[in-house]
Structure 1
Amino acid sequence: MNNILTEINELEIKLRSLRPLNKSELKRLRDEFIIETTYNSNAIEGNTLTLRETALILQEGITIAEKPLRDHLDVIGFKDAFYYIIDLASHNEPLTEQTIKAIHSLVLMNDRENRGKYRNVPVRILGALHTPPQPYLVPPAIEQLIQHYEEWNQTKHIIEAVALFHLEFESIHPFIDGNGRTGRLLLNFELIKNGLLPVDIKFTDRREYYNCFNEYHTHNNNPQTLISLIAKYEKEELERYIQIIEK
């Protein structure tokens, strides 16, 4: 594992040496990425829009006939949330409870009653080996997680730290809905802030992604499986960017 993290460090240094990037090219790459990650992150949660339909909504403002309004709002909310984390990262904003709730408010734009608010009912995650804490335990659990993350960020590679944060955040499951999308946005917020590229966890890899959580809870909270998955995506993104710039 240390080998791929070392490779990522080297690729990040190389990418930095090639900057500044062409602004129009950078915008094109980012816009493409946002369409794809919006599609994938929503599809993982059951959104029925295809990649092409997602692109039409975001690029052309087209409404897809016979697709639910909620699916459209999920796409628009996720896009807005992604631009929000880019802005936060550009100002090096810390990861706080307020940030988490603000991102969730954008993600859950279709649910006025619950957006940006911790759940007030117990929940179970279908197929998961872990039961999230009772509602009254959610605020202190999030507060403690943020403190732990600050410590991890000082002692671990950023990919190890964000993997641990993501696993613990989803285990807390602080919201009634939108936890997965919010968690993946928080993961990318921290990667961008630390000089790396955002990663797009693919819908086609959802089984592998879900398995990371089961592995974590059955192997004494060992985050290695998710670290490997994030590292694989990060390495691919860095190599792709470098290849495009060098051409």
Structure 2
Amino acid sequence: MDTSAFIHFLLDRFKIEHAKRDRSGVYGFTQRLMAYNSNKIEGSTLTEEQTASLFDTGVLPKSEDYYRAKDVEEMNGHFLMFNKMLDTLDSKLTEDLIKEFHYELKSGVFEDRANGYAIGNYKKRPNMIGMYETVLPSQVSDEMDKLLAWYNDQEISLDILASFHAQYENIHPFQDGNGRTGRMILFRECLYRGIAPFIIEDSNRPEYLDALKMYRQSQDVTALIALFRKEQEYYWNRCQYFLTE
């Protein structure tokens, strides 16, 4: 199966299974895989089994361990963000759409609301990525406008997606949830632009962070592109099960 046929298969199955609330196919598999890995990259304590149970049944398996409420809330938010992504695949990427993704991810997170974080809107306080400063709140809107104007003027390829993602993460437009919204945009734009989609695995987190650091230091996305290609192959191979009769 070529890339075009693979994407057509995904879009068709995502639409049907999401509408029927069928969690047993490639839609449910992708929801669980992406939510687990993307949240794990950000420090979630939930396991793959717990993520699957939460998505499939809405409850966590019985355990003697304590669950961090924020991890559960953000996992549920990620499921909702994925659904929003599917429901808006007929629209081009805009600032408003990105804000909608963030709202779905974060609107149910008590800790963020209690801390006064902007939900579904750009950050109101400066934030850093480790020791690196990001764009100041007063400059975010202009920088995002410029980024999307540049992006929508390109012939989209994996190289352009890597550059977009690195710039997006450098801007860090939201108070929290930038990585998860950024990775959802990547998956979404692959489907929208006819590029083989991918999910960044938590096991490749060091490689992913090093690639983003390389861009911050030298505007080089070579390592990020290589990672994206590796993850394309991984997701493609994992989906083969659903293509076999």
Is TM (by shorter chain) over 0.5? yes
CA offset digits 1:176-212 (Å, max 9, x no partner): 1111101111111101112334321111110000001
CA distance in 1, matches of 2:134, 2:8: 44
CA distance in 1, matches of 2:237, 2:6: 9
Q: Given that residues 167 and 213 in structure 1 are in contact (C-alpha distance below 8 angstroms), is that contact kept between their aligned partners in structure 2?
A: yes
Paired position in structure 1 for 2:151: 149
* TM-score relative to the length of structure 2: 0.84
Q: Given that residues 132 and 173 in structure 1 are in contact (C-alpha distance below 8 angstroms), is that contact kept between their aligned partners in structure 2?
A: yes
Given candidates 26, 48, 60, the residue that maps to 1:29 is 26
State the 1:236 CA deviation: 3.2
**Is residue 2:208 matched to residue 1:209?**
yes
Paired position in structure 2 for 1:132: 134
SS in structure 2 opposite 1:162?
Answer: helix
SS in structure 2 opposite 1:177?
Answer: coil
Residues 30 and 140 (structure 1 numbering): CA distance in 2 closer, same or farther, change over 3 Å?
A: same
CA offset digits 1:130-166 (Å, max 9, x no partner): 42122111110000000111123x2x52x11211111
Residues 224 and 49 (structure 1 numbering): CA distance in 2 closer, same or farther, change over 3 Å?
A: same
State the 1:125 CA deviation: 0.9
Instruction: Out of 113-122 and 232-241, give the one that drifted further.
Output: 232-241
CA offset digits 1:32-76 (Å, max 9, x no partner): 121011011011111111110111111111146620221111111
Q: Given that residues 105 and 115 in structure 1 are in contact (C-alpha distance below 8 angstroms), is that contact kept between their aligned partners in structure 2?
A: yes
Paired position in structure 1 for 2:36: 39
SS in structure 2 opposite 1:148?
Answer: helix
Paired position in structure 2 for 1:235: 233
State the 1:17 CA deviation: 8.7
1:16-95 to structure 2, matched below 5 A, reads 28-63=25-60, 66-89=66-89, 91=90, 93-95=91-93
CA distance in 2, matches of 1:231, 1:59: 30
CA distance in 2, matches of 1:179, 1:72: 18
Residues 99 and 59 (structure 1 numbering): CA distance in 2 closer, same or farther, change over 3 Å?
A: same
SS in structure 1 opposite 2:88?
Answer: helix
* TM-score relative to the length of structure 1: 0.83
SS in structure 1 opposite 2:97?
Answer: helix
CA distance in 2, matches of 1:98, 1:207: 31
Paired position in structure 1 for 2:6: 15
Given candidates 206, 211, 221, the residue that maps to 1:223 is 221
Q: Given that residues 11 and 238 in structure 1 are in contact (C-alpha distance below 8 angstroms), is that contact kept between their aligned partners in structure 2?
A: no
In angstroms, what is the RMSD of aligned CA positions?
Answer: 2.5
Amino acid at match of 1:115: I
Q: Given that residues 200 and 233 in structure 1 are in contact (C-alpha distance below 8 angstroms), is that contact kept between their aligned partners in structure 2?
A: yes
CA offset digits 1:99-128 (Å, max 9, x no partner): 01100011112134421121122222115x
Q: Given that residues 15 and 242 in structure 1 are in contact (C-alpha distance below 8 angstroms), is that contact kept between their aligned partners in structure 2?
A: no
Residues 18 and 60 (structure 1 numbering): CA distance in 2 closer, same or farther, change over 3 Å?
A: closer
Give unmatched runs, 5+ long, in structure 1. Answer: 1-9
Give aligned-pair identity as a percent: 27
